[in-house]
Amino acid sequence: MRGPTAAIARKGKDVKLYEPLAGTTTIFQPESFFDMFSFEDGPGKEHVVYYYQSIRTSQAGFFFALVAPGGAVPVGKPKPLVDLELWVLIDDEKGIVIDHAYRQNR
């Protein structure tokens, strides 16, 4: 994963997530980020979730071949988008990573 944190979730504070493909910002409740992890008594004020997202194609798009008389004709097809997501649960008071979750969607 490269780039800045896409969102930071803290207990009791709304989470703003910028969606680059849509060009919009969505507001989430922090619980949706903490639900990735299990807690005995729920997340405390010291718990913070850092969320990272990377959206890319897995390979180059179309290839073209010149065919007379029609010109360029597409050959092949674009590869699907790969959406990589990473959640990192931090104990902000101790400065340590407690857990993480990773998901790759195609």
pLDDT digits 0-9 by tens, 58-99: 555 554 454 555 555 555 565 656 688 899 999 999 999 999
The whole-number pLDDT of residue 105 equals: 78
First to last CA, the chain: 16
In a domain, 12, yes or no: no
Rounded average pLDDT over 53-57 = 75
Domain residues for 48?
Answer: 40-58+66-106
User: Across the chain, what does the average pLDDT equal?
Assistant: 80
Angle, vertex CA 34, rays to CA 32 and CA 40, nearest 5? 135
The model carries a pTM of 0.71
Q: Residue 12 contacts by C-beta under 8 Å, 6 or more apart in sequence?
A: 30
Q: 14-18, 50-54, 65-69: which range is least confident on average?
A: 65-69
In a domain, 27, yes or no: no
E strands, the chain, in order: 7-10, 15-19, 24-28, 47-57, 63-67, 71-75, 81-91, 96-105
In a domain, 73, yes or no: yes
Chain centre distance of CA 101: 11
17, two tokens: 């997530």
- Residue of 100 and 54 predicted with greater confidence: 100
In a domain, 35, yes or no: no
In a domain, 13, yes or no: no
In a domain, 83, yes or no: yes
**Other beta carbons less than 10 A from residue 52's beta carbon:** 17
User: How many distinct structural domains can be found in the chain?
Assistant: 1
pLDDT above 90: percentage of residues in the chain: 42
In a domain, 17, yes or no: no
64, two tokens: 């073209």
In a domain, 49, yes or no: yes
Name the residue with tokens 């050959």. 75
The whole-number pLDDT of residue 77 equals: 60
